[in-house]
Structure 1
Amino acid sequence: MQDYKSICNLKSSSVEFTIHIKSTSNMKTIVALTVLVGLATTYAYSTEHDDLDIAAIVADKNELQKFIDCFTEKAPCTKLTQDFKSKLPEVVREACEKCNPTQKKKLKIFLDGLNENFPEEYNALKKQFDPTGKLFEALDAALSESSCELNMKCILLLPILMAVVAAETYSTENDNLDIEAVVRDLPTLISFLDCFNDKKPCDEVQADFKNDMPEAFENACAKCTAAQKHIFKRFLEECEKKAPEDLKALKKKYDPDSKHYAKLVAAISKS
């Protein structure tokens, strides 16, 4: 089996997703998913309030009023409302360029709620921070675009994640092994057992299965494909009948404490 390495990148203005897939000759596929946030954009604002339930604030007019009164200097600010007020001029001026995706989403919810529940105060706020009327338009466009980008990233990432899940199985190179031919011929069956039990050198096919044997025992064939489970099932069934002593040696080698074999057999029993 030849080694290969493939790299798939999904980039945007704020997020890069990288998939590294490497297949090795021991039939294992190693998959690393790295999500690198903020490679192209530097987020400048603190994430201290990123977990704030902004929807609950918008739904409570009394709480929303506290923000309005602070922003318009009609009442003293709390620490929370002051934190937002101090950033608001720059956020409006730069169309939330330094906001992270969570902050953009929450700001959109806040502004939409403010416009819906307090339209007069919302317009007054726009005049206060954007007397020309151009900045809020750009801000609204940036926040809407951010929402669309996040949805598109989810759509684009889905097949990549599906590929990651698929890669968490052993190589299917030998899934077409004629297991019935193997178990029907005793010398061939013993040849596999001798390979697995370190009694003789392995051929290429036997080596592939042997390399996965320890993990397959330990994890009850969790990474096996349906075909591999069937192969394993028929192999163990016929070993039980035709080579019980060799099977006993196999279990002692790969499950010395007798913790895994019963679970393995149960896992592949219906394959």
Structure 2
Amino acid sequence: MKCLLLVLAITIQCTLAQSATYTDRYDTINLDDVLANKRLTVAYIKCVLDKGKCTNEGKELKSHIIEALQNGCSKCTKAQREGMRRVIRHLIKYEKGYWQELVEKYDPDRVFTQKYEKELNSI
């Protein structure tokens, strides 16, 4: 009985620890390929802006975007944090119009995005 309780306790701890971060299922997506392909980049942007169809990856991204912006991506894996920085840097530099649309939709008061812009423009 004690062994069963120990196994149950460990299982619960593992489940809680896993929920502390977003799924890493899409961490292996090659962002360089996505960002180099304007059609693909725009498709993801339109998904997030509710202006186009979403892939499973797009739906996952869209479901966490507000929370990730607000908490500095604290639930992100290391790959997701680095990917977020690369994508934001790319949008600021090469897709300014879409970046502004995303900011207006997800951070109209520019509370969170201003921090990212300042940080990424200084690099």
What TM-score range do you get, normalising by the shorter chain? 0.7 to 0.9
Gap change, CA 1:242 and 1:203, over 3 Å in 2? same
Q: Which amino acid letter does the alignment assign opposite residue 229 of structure 1?
A: R
1:261 to 106, 109, 113: 113
Note the residue ranges of structure 1 that are not aligned, 5 or more in a row. Answer: 1-8, 21-159
1:214 matches 2:66 = yes
2:30 alignment partner in structure 1:
178
Q: Any idea what SS the aligned residue of 1:10 has?
A: helix
2:5 alignment partner in structure 1:
10
Q: Deviations over 1:78-112 (max 9, x none)?
A: xxxxxxxxxxxxxxxxxxxxxxxxxxxxxxxxxxx
Q: Which has the higher strand share?
A: 1
TM-score (norm 2): 0.80
Task: Give the C-alpha shift of residue 264 in structure 1.
Answer: 4.8
- The answer to whether the 8 Å contact 1:217/1:264 transfers is no
- The answer to whether the 8 Å contact 1:221/1:264 transfers is no
After TM superposition, list the pairs within 5 Å mapping 1:22-171 onto structure 2.
160=13, 164-171=16-23
1:223 matches 2:75 = yes
Gap change, CA 1:181 and 1:196, over 3 Å in 2? same
- The answer to whether the 8 Å contact 2:92/2:117 transfers is no
Larger radius of gyration: 1
Q: Any idea what SS the aligned residue of 2:5 has?
A: strand
Q: Which amino acid letter does the alignment assign opposite residue 110 of structure 2?
A: S
Q: Deviations over 1:205-259 (max 9, x none)?
A: 1111111111111111110000001111111111112210111110111111111
Higher RCO (C-alpha 8 Å, min separation 6): 2
How far apart in 2 are the matches of 1:198 and 1:227?
Answer: 25
Q: Any idea what SS the aligned residue of 1:221 has?
A: coil
TM-score (norm 1): 0.39
1:247 to 53, 74, 99: 99
1:237 matches 2:78 = no
> Percent identity, aligned pairs only?
24
Q: Deviations over 1:99-153 (max 9, x none)?
A: xxxxxxxxxxxxxxxxxxxxxxxxxxxxxxxxxxxxxxxxxxxxxxxxxxxxxxx
Gap change, CA 1:225 and 1:265, over 3 Å in 2? farther
Q: Which amino acid letter does the alignment assign opposite residue 5 of structure 2?
A: L
Note the residue ranges of structure 2 that are not aligned, 5 or more in a row. Answer: none
Gap change, CA 1:192 and 1:248, over 3 Å in 2? same
Aligned length: 117
How far apart in 1 are the matches of 2:67 and 2:111?
Answer: 13
Q: Which has the higher helix share?
A: 2
